[in-house]
Structures are given as C-alpha cells and as structure tokens.
Chain A
Amino acid sequence: MAKSSIKLRAKVKDDVVEVKALIKHPMESGNRKDKKTGEAIPAHFITEVMCEHGGKTRLSASLSGGVSKNPYVSFKFKGGASGDPITMNWKDNKGGSDSVEAKIK
C-alpha cells in the first residue's frame, strides 16, 4: 500500500489526548486561474475529516477550499490512554479519500 497521505500524531498529557494531523492535499479553492492559460483551476479540496477512538467519533470536521494546502488539523479530547489505536479519515469533493491508524503515545 502506498504511504498514507495523513501524518497522525496523538499524545496523552494530563489525561488529555492532543491529536495533530497533517494531510497531503492540494486544497484548490476553485477560485484560482492558471497563470499561463487563464483557465480556472477546478476546485479540489477536502470536505470532511473524521477522527475516531474507542468506537466513538471524537471529531468530525468540515473543511473548505479556504483551508491551506496540505492542511493541518489539531484538536484535543479526554478519555484516551497511551497505546490506544486512533484512526483518521478524510474525503474530498472529487470522491477521493484516505485513512490512517496510529497509536496514542
């Protein structure tokens, strides 16, 4: 399998798990034009990011083309322990998707 587009890090500190994710994605807003041809670059961005842990959805985020290229998403939750598996997945407006699993440190 190809390397996942998601870099997922989760770390426990004082009972709170801090999740940091970096996703490789162009995040084209659809508002830009190709400088040479003048043609509009079609929108291509992640619409949904979801993070699950312990059978529960910890975060479900909706993004738009206004989020930077290779988006960084971070959040925190309580109730996780070191060694627990945590998964994240994303979907984009063109039907693309990816997911990754990591362990909480």
Chain B
Amino acid sequence: MISSRRLFLKQTSVAGTAAVALGAGLLTPHALLAEWNEAAFKEKDVDAAIKAMTGSSSSEESDKIHIKAPDIAENGGVVPVSVTSDLEGVTDILILAPNNPVPMVAAFSLGEGAEAFARTNIKMGKTGDVVAVVKAGDKTYTARKAVKVTIGGCGG
C-alpha cells in the first residue's frame, strides 16, 4: 500500500476537528501495522480513492477478477462480497461501493503466500455497483458488479 505523507498531512489539516481527533491516533507510531490510509478513506471520488490507495492512476477492466455478491441484497447493511482473481502476483485487493458516502470500503494487503482471495461483508446505502480493484505487479485492474439494494444500510 502506498500513501503520500504530504497528502495525508494536507488533508488532515483541512478536514477539521473530527479528522484531527482521528489523526491523533493514527500518528502514533506502531511497528507492525501498516498505516491506515486516511486520504483514500476520505476521498469521495472513486478513481481518486483508488489512486490514493494504490498510487496508480490508470487501471484497466479485467475479466480475470471475479466478484461474488448477491444480485439483490435485501439488507444493505450486510452485503457479502468476495473477490477472487486469476491474475498473477496479486498484492492488493480493494473493495469499493461508489454510491456510498465513502466509496473505499476495504483494502486487503496480501502477505506472503496469500492467495488472490478476499471476502467480507459491506454496507451499501443504495443500489449500485460493487467495484473490485486488484493490484498485481505495477498495474491495477478493476471489475464491477451491480447489486440491487432493497433496504438501505447506512441508516439515518
């Protein structure tokens, strides 16, 4: 995972008190865990969020990424999504929901020996696509799948 420190600091300073409170915890050095990429998780634009997370601005559609998600989600609060890929050398798998207030939902950074597979449950506020981004080598690949949500998951 690549994060720009400059961008991170810049965004933290403008995003107001909530972000500062968040940032305080994030700036504590910890040796083992990768730094949570706040910039990517605040970005409202899908492409920009992908770029903030992977450092790559262009990605191509790939049919070697397989998204397993329901066609119709009765409960937007729990939408099971699994992503697998036939691509070689996959290092990162990102799951995004472009129609959510924050499109970047989860980012899996695969360690040594890890297979190109990730599964989790996500929230979807309304009907829309689930976008999977796979980083393999220096390139990023994307795939999407439409999910119809009958009850929203972000509440309000």
Contacts and interface: CB of A to CB of B under 8 A. Distances in A.
Are A and B interaction partners? yes
Interface of A: 16, 29-33, 43, 47-48, 50-51, 56-69, 71-80, 91, 93-95
Nearest to B119: A74
A101 B102 CA distance: 32
A65 to B, nearest CB: 7
A24 B109 CA distance: 22
Contacts of A63: 105-106, 120
Contacts of A69: 77-78
B34 A68 contact: no
Contacts of A47: 26, 36
Interface string B94-135: 000100111011111111111101111111000000000000
Contacts, number: 132
A66 B22 contact: no
Contacts of B37: 62
A56 B112 CA distance: 7
A66 B102 contact: yes
B127 to A, nearest CB: 15
Contact of A75 (B26, B117, B122): B117
Given A31-B156, A78-B115, A68 B121 contact: yes
B14 interface: no
B120 A73 contact: yes
Interface of B: 1, 18, 22, 25-26, 30, 32-34, 36-37, 41, 77-80, 82, 97, 100-102, 104-115, 117-123, 153-156
B115 A76 contact: yes
Contacts of B121: 67-68, 71-72
A42 to B, nearest CB: 8
Contacts of A43: 18, 22
A35 to B, nearest CB: 9
Contacts of B34: 48, 60, 62
7 A-B pairs closest in CB distance: A66-B105, A68-B121, A74-B119, A76-B115, A79-B113, A58-B111, A47-B36
